Structure 1
Amino acid sequence: MRFHADLHMHSKYARACSRDSDLEQLAAWARRKGVTLMGTGDFTHPAWYGRLRECLVPAEPGLFRLRDDLERAVTGGLPPGLAAGPLRFMLSVEVAAVYRRGGRTRKIHHLVYVPGFDAAEAFNRAAGRAGDLASDGRPVLAMDSRDLLEVVLGCGDGAHLVPAHVWTPWFGLFGSKSGFDTVEECFGDLTGHVFALETGLSSDPAMNRRVSGLDRYRLVSYSDAHSPPRIGRETTVFETDLDYFAVLRALRTGDGHAGSVEFFPEGGRYHLDGHRRCKVRLEPHETRELGGVCPVCGRKLTVGVLSRVEDLADRPEDARPEDAAGFRALVPLLEIVGEVLGVGAGSKRVRTEVDRLTAALGPELVILEETPLGDIAACSPPLAEAVGRLRRGEVSRDPGYDGEYGAIRVSGPGGLDRRDGSDGRDQAGRRSAACEGESDGDA
């Protein structure tokens, strides 16, 4: 079975996250997007953990589904094409390990996965001794990353850890502010139990493959969604049975790991270097020429993902190992429709149009990846033009830096033919607003 998995997201109990991030709305948006397997997020938070225990029931080995009455409530409000097919949950949480090592304070985010509630309870007991689990859905633990991994491994068969958004300056394993230069430095004698790395929004697999030391790791991409509409902006594609342990085997061996759907890395919040307050954005070579100092205020620049990749790279930009999984870069449908209509992606008009399109054509990821352009044109000619450009990689890129999202646009030199797909009339409006961003510093 081929399916999209989004295994990094947050509930309403995590800081800077939407109050709409409850199970029902997360499930509805996963179906709209075409995500089959999604993480629960935040299982360490007592209130969210209680909600998960109340609302989820066992499905395939290690996976869960919504309770029947909740599933009916979710699918009853969706068009038939979005309500069909399975939707499964994997117990997941992102934790922040904060500790001193090598004379520096380390702040590293990790994703933890377990195949059942008994294992989740075991992890929560240990994590509760290192931090206040009720304070945030993404808890801060006073625990070395190596020791955190040891705790995870002790929670039973199948429990595993994946370093999160590994290049993010502030909280990534390789981040410029508090990270390491190698996975081995971070995990020491337990490095062999790490087999996958999350690339984050500001990098893609091609960038990561410039570092030969990462060849042994499966590269995964997930949304880190802080609100339901952000689900599926990055996914990992699997060709396995819908089964926790089948997914785990694919990550360990590569067999069944079929690649990923990526954010364009320039659209991430930390792709280039810079200083947001001074509106300074720099390429890596410019940062080096300036000695890492902002030319406006004289303070240290935030060194972004591209710079860190270049620091650690031992291969040219076009390098690709023979067995590397493929990937495709996409732009969320809300953003594309906002650009087509000339209004902000968060507007009611955009949401209404996306609802119309997905009701007619199916889930978002299917529209962006597979639906024939002729079928899209029957609903919206300008959208068909935009999706065609996206599939060909004909986009303009305005890179993000120091916490500011970049902008990826699908309009060509002459713009898009702004006609409403339902009646063909011209639509006047402002240029699409930039993607709304989360505020936790993740890439």
Structure 2
Amino acid sequence: MLANADLHIHSPFSMAVSGAMRPEKLLIASKVKGLHVLGTGDAMHPAWQQEWKPFLENMQEICVVPTGEIEDDHRVHHLVLAEEFGQFDQLRDLLAPKSRSIGTNGRPHVYLSGEIIAEHAHEVGALIGPAHAFTPWTALFAYHDSVAGCYGDEKIDLLELGLSADSSYGASIPDLSGVPFLSNSDAHSPQLEKIGREFNRIQVSGHLSVRNVLDCIRAGEITMNAGFFPEEGKYNRTACVRCFTQYSLEEAQQHNWRCPADGGLIKKGVSDRARELSRGTPGPRPPYLHIVPLGQIIQTLEGASSPHTKKCRAIYDAFIMAFENEIDILVSAPLPEIRAVHPGVADAISALRENRVILHPGGGGKFGTFSLK
């Protein structure tokens, strides 16, 4: 079966995460969004495990996969997927001697190399790979020029692209040949424009179970990645982290990576970094569908301050009443049926499906925006 999967979120036990991130709210949001598979996030944290356990015992519509993120001694973040919480318990025991936050932080900092962390993850039977691999902070390619530079001889099982990249950014990097690409939300809030804002469509053999989902990822049975236009990500372009002025790579180098306007640090953008690492002809990858969350589309059309205004929410609810979930609306619902609910949204989704949008790229920590032609 085809299943939509978002495998990277966070819990209230991580920094800068909404206290509303609770299992019951996440499962409700996942159903409205159109997800079939949801990662728990922060599965290393004992209290977060306890919150999830009642729901795992009675899994029905949503398959919940234990997942977590770990920061290594070079600040690189790693995404870990496992079949059971028990594997995260084993991994926590292995890493605990080298971490002061492993029992308190949902995303613990571990004073070990990426290679050793990956070795321990494989020892307990988990999958591992770099989280948001191109982001200029806390990511593989922020600190290393190759996979081996971080992981040594240890194999990676996956690579998460991050909000500022799509699969084209990694398709010409020789190191990544044969490595499955994931696109996940990294959500810090259960709001519908956050959960599933990026997702993977996977081909699961047999019934929907955690083991079959992991087998699917391991085998690279991903039929589509979906998510932001890379330009919408907040680190897509090289830019100052204070005033967000954007620079070409050559200009940044001339200014010695300091903004001439305010002295702020200029941070290399994902697009420039991916271009540096790319070589030769892009290898084959599943299609990548660029989407914008429905709430954000409605907000833009209505000129509203938020997708949560009363009017925007009423329009959103009318769509869910008609189509049951958001992903189907964005990806496959017939335009005439969408038009019957809201003509403007139909025009916007038509433009998105045909890439007829104007992008205003983000950089330096400021999200990009879009407008319709």
TM-score, structure 2 normalization: 0.93
* 1:151 counterpart (120, 142, 152): 120
Q: Which residue in the other structure is 1:238 paired with?
A: 202
1:78-124 deviation line (CA, Å, top 9, x unaligned): xxxxxxxx211000111111x2xxxxxx2100111111132122112
* 2:77 counterpart (86, 109, 117): 109
Q: Secondary structure at the match of 2:227?
A: strand
The verdict on how the C-alpha distance between 1:249 and 1:54 changes in structure 2, with shifts beyond 3 A counting, is: closer
Look up the equivalent residue of 2:134 and give its one-letter code: W
Q: Which residue in the other structure is 1:185 paired with?
A: 149
CA distance in 2, matches of 1:351, 1:94: 32
Q: Which residue in the other structure is 1:281 paired with?
A: 246
CA distance in 1, matches of 2:317, 2:19: 21
Q: Which residue in the other structure is 1:248 paired with?
A: 214
CA RMSD of aligned residues (A): 1.7
Q: Which residue in the other structure is 1:88 paired with?
A: 63
Q: Which residue in the other structure is 1:268 paired with?
A: 233
Q: Secondary structure at the match of 1:252?
A: helix
Within-5 A mapping of 1:147-226 = 147-156=116-125, 159-175=126-142, 179-190=143-154, 193-226=155-188
Look up the equivalent residue of 2:329 and give its one-letter code: I
1:32/1:363 contact within 8 Å kept: yes
> Percent identity, aligned pairs only?
30
CA distance in 2, matches of 1:359, 1:243: 28
Report the alpha carbon displacement of residue 299 of structure 1 after superposing the two structures with TM.
4.9
Report the alpha carbon displacement of residue 141 of structure 1 after superposing the two structures with TM.
1.3
Greater CA drift, 162-171 or 345-354? 345-354
1:294/1:301 contact within 8 Å kept: yes
1:416-435 deviation line (CA, Å, top 9, x unaligned): xxxxxxxxxxxxxxxxxxxx
CA distance in 2, matches of 1:244, 1:187: 26
Q: Secondary structure at the match of 2:363?
A: coil
Report the alpha carbon displacement of residue 273 of structure 1 after superposing the two structures with TM.
0.9
* 1:338 counterpart (286, 299, 305): 299
CA distance in 2, matches of 1:368, 1:14: 30
1:313-372 deviation line (CA, Å, top 9, x unaligned): 213xxx532x42111000011100101211023433222321221111221110001100
Flag the structure with larger Rg. 1
1:284/1:306 contact within 8 Å kept: no
Q: How many residues align?
A: 367
Look up the equivalent residue of 1:232 and give its one-letter code: G
Q: Which residue in the other structure is 2:285 paired with?
A: 324
Q: Which residue in the other structure is 1:435 paired with?
A: none
TM-score, structure 1 normalization: 0.79
Look up the equivalent residue of 1:127 and give its one-letter code: L
1:10/1:17 contact within 8 Å kept: yes
The verdict on how the C-alpha distance between 1:351 and 1:162 changes in structure 2, with shifts beyond 3 A counting, is: farther
1:277-329 deviation line (CA, Å, top 9, x unaligned): 234112334324444332224454111111111211213xxx532x4211100
Report the alpha carbon displacement of residue 408 of structure 1 after superposing the two structures with TM.
1.9
For structure 2, list consecutive stretches of 5 or more residues without a partner in the other structure.
Answer: none
Look up the equivalent residue of 1:167 and give its one-letter code: F
For structure 1, list consecutive stretches of 5 or more residues without a partner in the other structure.
Answer: 59-64, 67-85, 100-105, 413-443
1:197/1:217 contact within 8 Å kept: yes
Report the alpha carbon displacement of residue 52 of structure 1 after superposing the two structures with TM.
1.9
Look up the equivalent residue of 2:11 and give its one-letter code: S
Greater CA drift, 210-219 or 5-14? 210-219
Q: Which residue in the other structure is 1:364 paired with?
A: 326
